[in-house]
Amino acid sequence: MTHIVLIGFMGSGKSTLASTLSLTFTLPIFSTDAVIENLNQMRIAKIFEIYGECFFRSQESKIFAQIQKLSKPHIIDCGGGFGIYQDVNSLGEVVFLDVEFDVIYSRLSILKNHNRPLFDHNVKKLFYSRLEIYRAKADVILKTDQEVLEWITSNQRA
């Protein structure tokens, strides 16, 4: 099954793009974080706090198996680590939202959203440790907001 798989760091705009693509292509969204929250009836931050990151990653593997069983194409909105640890290339066309660290940092800093347990003093290190992995997995790299728009427009015409 070929899905559109959005990968990238926290705050890179995956959910926003997922909504736009969903409207453009009339495809449902599968958000890995939302499905994990539903499954556990708990916010991501609480899952990390109570059960820890290893448990969260095991939930992501469970969700990966669910995605493999989907019978219709979806926009897959991957949590930041999902694109790193899971074999996203086997799911479909992988789109990496390549946004500069400084942009991400200021976006996350102004968001009054405390549901991002890995946004801490190690976030810069985490960002750079993942960057090349995201790039290596990408079929499409969207580098700026402008390119995002151009890519959407060209796919609307296709």
- Site residues (vs ligand S3P, CB under 6 A): 10, 33, 44, 79-81, 116-118
Asked if 96 contacts 7 with a C-beta cutoff of 8 angstroms, the reply is yes
Asked if 93 contacts 10 with a C-beta cutoff of 8 angstroms, the reply is no
Between CA 81 and CA 65 the distance in angstroms is 16
Nearest distance from residue 154's CB to ligand S3P, in Å?
25
Nearest distance from residue 33's CB to ligand S3P, in Å?
5
Nearest residue (CB) to ligand S3P, 46 versus 157:
46
In the structure encoding, which two tokens stand for residue 126, read together? 């985490």
Nearest residue (CB) to ligand S3P, 79 versus 92:
79
- Residue found by looking up tokens 């926003």 in the block: 16
Nearest residue (CB) to ligand S3P, 8 versus 92:
8
